């Protein structure tokens, strides 16, 4: 794991990552990424529900970060997010530490 | 089983038969291109059909067989006895798989699957792998040898490739729910998310779906079931489903139709396990290697996307090949249509119903005829007789529909003879004649087993080993004949061999041992030979694999008698023996000759009637008459059926003939020709000798149909008994005639 860079920019999403908020959230992500000097820490612990539109946003922000030479990391997530990331089989691509619940392990 | 499946099964069985006969032909003329093509076509047709009805296990098996056949066709390997035997085994296995399909089971059971795997392993090891033997052209690079578009890929999963349309999210449909649902009908082994279509952040619309998925999916579900998962988004997604073990070329075709970069897709397919790295490289290489014939990828990519990396620079070659394949395929379709126009497939029960109706029509027609005759109105009688004639034509035409040539049944024996002769170390040549003789379809189905028994018997007991044959001055190669012909309303099927013939002494000894004959009893050769049809009779000194297990000729005879037929044997020591099966042409309707005894009417099958004569007044007491210098034994129905009442002053004799033996049936009245619909007697009366069935007359009365065969045999045996004149004869008959 790379050493944590200094003063990571933080973004916490408080509402569900679904198509209903997708437009607003996209802007939120892009703005946060633009504002972050090197690293964006995304806190998804408040996200109870995520759908494919929300998932696309995560993909977008990851890819956009790479394009800009920055790093976007999901630092906290709920059960729903973990499940979706695993289902879509992008955990390795995202490279974020996923918290696997004890009963699953 | 739905209709399309049952058609597939029927057609495939025909294809297997064709495949088998072509393989046998190949044995005599290895390397004949026409034969090789015919073999390939048969296998290919079966595979294609199985694909249509989505029977994956048949597709998977046939596919590998087809690959071997393809190499054969390219002369990359040569057909030797081993390969032909193996391919025959494969044909059998496909037959078994069809049986599984027919039975409605979801797949072959473990044993059958293991058989199939063993066959495939042998094919793979000996004939498909490059190091395999029989690689006749070692200088040709291996990639050309597998030019049919490649072997089956190793993965046994479905491959699903789906690209969701832009609006699915907006329409409230989440790809996630479809994929989750997919998981409920099988197991998603590996899923790869493809987001290549997603543009850069500025243009990206968060409400548009940009995702696609490559999924490796393990499931017993069929293609239709998998497609149903995506029913709701069917119009809004691009869905490609490849069954397990698809051809490499199909994957390559898939890769080239998808919008993403081909190299990347190839890698993804490798990653999710649909292809191995080797397979991918192999497939790509093959595409460039200008495969020679046999590629038939369904989709010709109309507007070819970017070439598959630099490897597919020779794209043009590939395309030309695909176009050729498409043309060949179209031609195939046209040919098939033309063949269909000549043949109509009808379900057998529809035909049976038609025959039933014609039967009823015949009975009703007889009634009309009778009533019209009573009215005495000339015009009416004329009209009914015209109708009667038409009904007769309809009857004949309807029965003709059920008639099939026996040749197909005969041809099956090529294989049996080949296999058995090899097993026993004998050289046997099968000669078939009269294959175009027709008989009722239901008969053909039932005659197969008895015939098989006779053939095996002839090969096992009849024909000698080559050394023994040469020692007795015969050619080393034994000869087995199958022959069929029509004879007075029956069909005769003969199985003859030029072997040692039946051993009279041994049969007699055995018969005495079993109590079937008395020691010292004098029996004619024919009588002795026919003893082999007695229950529990086996003359083989040792029980072999092929026959002689005790379930023998008595079963054959019983089966044939069940078809209202008979079986006879004639034999000459050292020259061979000949079994003759005699069967009625049809089981349903016959032309009858109506006779009366007392108040009852009886029907004699017209085919067996030779002539009618008047019985001399003074001949009343004797059981035979002088028919133009010939002794004609008589059967008196009045006595036989114990009918009361005085016989009329003038009695008549109907002279009947069966299998060359004539006898006379004494009746009161001759009532003329009558179309007879045979109604079987109930189980209760099954063992009555001399009655073959019943029918209904125009007046509504029931008439019994005489079993001429039984009556003639009765006469013949009575004659024999009289000739013996000894009590011993009677004892034998009691045992011999059940």
ipTM of the complex: 0.84
Say which range, B93-102, B106-115, B529-538, has the weakest mean pLDDT: B529-538
Residue B609 has pLDDT above 80, yes or no: yes
Is residue A104 assigned to a domain? no
- What pLDDT sits at residue B482? 92
Residue B231 has pLDDT above 50, yes or no: yes
Contacts of A64 in chain B (CB under 8 A): 200-201
Please indicate whether residue B612 or residue B299 has the higher confidence score (pLDDT).
B612
As a whole number, mean pLDDT of residues B170-178 equals 81
- What pLDDT sits at residue B600? 87
- Can you read off the two tokens belonging to residue A18? 């679904």
DSSP for A53-85?
Answer: HHHHHHHHHHHHHHHTT-EEEEEEE-HHHHHHH
Interface-testing mutation among B204, B206, B271, with chain A (most A C-beta atoms within 10 A): B206
**In whole angstroms, how far apart are CA B270 and each of B12, B279, B505?**
35, 9, 75
- What pLDDT sits at residue B483? 92
Q: What is the mean pLDDT of chain B?
A: 76
Nearest to A23 among B176, B191, B206 (CB): B206
Q: Do residue B176 and residue A52 have CB atoms under 8 angstroms apart?
A: yes
Residues in chain A: 105
Please indicate whether residue B696 or residue B308 has the higher confidence score (pLDDT).
B696
- What pLDDT sits at residue B280? 67
Is residue A24 assigned to a domain? yes
Q: Note whether B184 contacts A: Cβ–Cβ < 8 A.
A: no
Indicate the SS3 state at residue B575: coil
- What pLDDT sits at residue B340? 53
Contacts of A57 in chain B (CB under 8 A): 206
- What pLDDT sits at residue B542? 47
Is residue A2 assigned to a domain? no
- Can you read off the two tokens belonging to residue B364? 């009703």
Residue B312 has pLDDT above 50, yes or no: no
- What pLDDT sits at residue A100? 62
Residue B334 has pLDDT above 70, yes or no: no
Confidence grade of residue B361 (pLDDT, cut at 50, 70, 90): confident
- CA–CA separation, B528 and B520 (whole Å): 13
- What pLDDT sits at residue B298? 40
Is residue A68 assigned to a domain? yes
- CA–CA separation, B364 and B699 (whole Å): 9
Residue B540 has pLDDT above 70, yes or no: no
- What pLDDT sits at residue B463? 84
DSSP-H helix ranges across B343-377: 348-375
As a whole number, mean pLDDT of residues A59-84 equals 85
Residue B134 has pLDDT above 50, yes or no: no
CATH number at residue A55: 3.30.750.24
As a whole number, mean pLDDT of residues B31-45 equals 82
Residue B252 has pLDDT above 60, yes or no: yes
Is residue A33 assigned to a domain? yes
How many other C-beta atoms lie within 10 A of the C-beta of residue B712? 23
Q: Do residue B204 and residue A60 have CB atoms under 8 angstroms apart?
A: yes
As a whole number, mean pLDDT of residues B692-706 equals 83
pLDDT 10s digits, B277-295: 666 666 666 555 544 443 4
- Can you read off the two tokens belonging to residue B41? 């076509």
Please indicate whether residue B319 or residue B435 has the higher confidence score (pLDDT).
B435
Indicate the SS3 state at residue B535: coil
Confidence grade of residue B341 (pLDDT, cut at 50, 70, 90): low
Is residue A1 assigned to a domain? no
B257 burial via Cβ count (<10 Å: 0-12, 13-18, 19+):
middle
- What pLDDT sits at residue B274? 66
Nearest to A90 among B193, B204, B210 (CB): B193
Is residue A103 assigned to a domain? no
Residue B310 has pLDDT above 50, yes or no: no
- What pLDDT sits at residue B152? 54
In this structure, which long-range contacts are made by residues B49-55, counting pairs with CB atoms below 8 Å and at least 24 apart in sequence? B49/B8, B49/B11, B49/B12, B50/B8, B50/B12, B51/B243, B52/B4, B52/B8, B53/B4, B53/B5, B53/B8, B54/B222, B54/B223, B54/B224, B54/B243, B55/B5, B55/B8, B55/B97, B55/B101
CB A43 within 8 A of CB A12: yes
Q: How far apart are the first and last CA of chain B?
A: 43
Interface A-B: count of C-beta contacts within 8 A: 60
Domain extent for A22: 9-94
Please indicate whether residue B77 or residue B666 has the higher confidence score (pLDDT).
B666
- Can you read off the two tokens belonging to residue A60? 């977008």
Q: Do residue B179 and residue A25 have CB atoms under 8 angstroms apart?
A: no
As a whole number, mean pLDDT of residues B261-276 equals 68
Confidence grade of residue B83 (pLDDT, cut at 50, 70, 90): confident
- How many structural domains compose chain A? 1
Confidence grade of residue B225 (pLDDT, cut at 50, 70, 90): confident
- CA–CA separation, B411 and B36 (whole Å): 19
pTM exceeds 0.90: no
Q: Do residue B206 and residue A22 have CB atoms under 8 angstroms apart?
A: yes
Share of chain B above pLDDT 70, in %: 78
- CA–CA separation, B579 and B494 (whole Å): 6
Is residue A102 assigned to a domain? no
Residues β-bridged to residue B215? B160, B191
Contacts of B191 in chain A (CB under 8 A): 87-89
- What pLDDT sits at residue B725? 53
Q: Do residue B198 and residue A59 have CB atoms under 8 angstroms apart?
A: yes
Q: Do residue A26 and residue B209 have CB atoms under 8 angstroms apart?
A: no
């Amino acid at each position: 794991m790379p050493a944590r860079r200094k003063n990571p920019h933080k973004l916490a999403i408080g509402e569900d990552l679904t198509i209903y908020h997708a437009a607003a959230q996209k802007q939120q992500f892009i703005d946060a990424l633009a504002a972050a000097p090197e690293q964006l820490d995304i806190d998804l612990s408040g996200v109870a529900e995520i759908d494919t539109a929300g998932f696309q946003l995560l993909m977008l922000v990851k890819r956009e970060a790479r394009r800009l030479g920055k790093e976007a990391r999901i630092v906290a997530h709920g059960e729903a997010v973990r499940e979706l990331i695993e289902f879509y089989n992008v955990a390795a691509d995202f490279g974020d530490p996923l918290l696997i619940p004890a009963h699953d392990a | 089983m739905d209709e399309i499946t049952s058609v597939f099964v029927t057609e495939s069985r025909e294809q297997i038969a064709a495949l088998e006969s072509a393989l046998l032909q190949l044995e005599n003329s290895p390397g004949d291109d026409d034969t090789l093509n015919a073999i390939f076509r048969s296998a290919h047709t079966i595979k294609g059909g199985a694909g249509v009805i989505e029977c994956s296990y048949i597709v998977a098996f046939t596919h590998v067989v087809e690959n071997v056949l393809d190499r054969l066709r390219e002369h990359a390997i040569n057909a030797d006895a081993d390969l032909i035997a193996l391919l025959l085994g494969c044909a059998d296995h496909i037959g078994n798989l069809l049986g599984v399909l027919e039975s409605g089971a979801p797949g072959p059971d473990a044993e059958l699957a293991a058989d199939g795997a063993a066959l495939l392993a042998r094919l793979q090891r000996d004939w498909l792998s490059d190091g395999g033997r029989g690689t006749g052209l070692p200088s040709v690079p291996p990639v050309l040898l597998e030019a049919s578009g490649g072997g089956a890929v190793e993965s046994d999963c479905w491959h699903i490739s789906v690209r969701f349309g832009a609006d699915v999210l907006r329409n409230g449909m989440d790809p996630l729910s479809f994929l989750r649902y997919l998981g409920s009908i099988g197991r998603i082994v590996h899923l790869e998310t493809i987001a290549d279509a997603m543009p850069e952040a500025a243009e990206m619309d968060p409400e548009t779906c940009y995702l696609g998925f490559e999924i490796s999916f393990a499931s017993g579900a069929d293609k239709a079931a998998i497609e149903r998962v995506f029913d709701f988004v069917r119009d809004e997604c691009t869905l490609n489903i490849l069954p397990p073990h698809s051809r490499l070329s199909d994957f390559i075709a898939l890769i080239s139709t998808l919008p993403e970069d081909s190299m990347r897709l190839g890698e993804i397919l490798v990653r999710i396990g649909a292809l191995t790295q080797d397979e991918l490289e192999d497939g790509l290489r093959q595409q460039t290697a200008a495969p020679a014939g046999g590629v038939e990828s369904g989709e010709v990519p109309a507007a070819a996307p970017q070439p598959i990396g630099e490897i597919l620079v020779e794209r043009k070659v590939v395309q030309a090949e695909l176009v050729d394949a498409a043309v060949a395929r179209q031609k195939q379709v046209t040919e098939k249509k033309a063949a269909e126009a000549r043949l109509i497939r009808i379900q057998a029960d529809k035909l049976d119903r038609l025959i039933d109706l014609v039967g009823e029509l015949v009975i009703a027609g007889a009634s009309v005829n009778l009533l019209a005759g009573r009215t005495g109105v000339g015009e009416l009688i004329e009209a009914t007789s015209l109708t009667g004639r038409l009904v007769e034509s309809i009857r004949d035409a309807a029965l003709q529909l059920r008639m099939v040539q026996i040749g197909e049944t005969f041809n099956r024996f090529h294989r049996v003879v080949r296999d058995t002769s090899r097993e026993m170390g004998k050289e046997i040549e099968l000669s078939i004649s009269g294959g175009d003789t027709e008989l009722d379809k239901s008969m053909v189905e039932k005659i197969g087993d008895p015939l098989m028994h006779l053939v095996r018997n002839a090969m096992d007991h009849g024909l000698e080993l080559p050394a023994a044959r040469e020692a007795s001055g015969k050619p080393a190669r034994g000869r087995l004949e199958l022959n069929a012909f029509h004879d007075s309303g029956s069909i005769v099927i003969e199985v003859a061999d030029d072997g040692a013939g039946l051993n009279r002494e041994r049969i007699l000894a055995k018969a005495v041992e079993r109590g079937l004959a008395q020691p010292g009893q004098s029996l004619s050769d024919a009588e002795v030979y026919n003893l082999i049809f007695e229950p529990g009779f086996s003359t083989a000194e040792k029980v072999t694999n092929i026959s002689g297990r005790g379930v023998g000729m008595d079963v054959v005879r019983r089966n044939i008698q069940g078809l209202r037929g008979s079986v006879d044997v004639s034999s000459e020591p050292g020259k061979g023996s000949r079994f003759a099966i005699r069967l009625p042409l049809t089981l349903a309707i016959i032309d009858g000759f109506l006779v009366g005894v007392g108040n009852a009417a009886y029907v004699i099958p017209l085919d067996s009637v030779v002539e009618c004569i008047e019985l001399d007044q003074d001949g009343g007491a004797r059981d035979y008459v002088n028919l133009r210098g010939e002794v004609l034994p008589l059967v008196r129905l009045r006595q036989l059926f114990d009918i009361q009442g005085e016989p009329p002053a003038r009695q008549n004799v109907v002279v009947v003939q069966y299998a060359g033996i004539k006898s006379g049936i004494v009746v009161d009245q001759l009532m003329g020709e009558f179309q007879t619909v045979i109604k079987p007697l109930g189980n209760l009366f099954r063992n009555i000798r001399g009655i073959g069935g019943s029918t209904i007359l125009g007046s509504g009365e029931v008439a019994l149909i005489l079993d001429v065969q039984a009556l003639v045999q009765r006469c013949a045996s009575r004659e024999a008994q009289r000739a013996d004149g000894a009590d011993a004869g009677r004892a034998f008959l009691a045992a011999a005639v059940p």
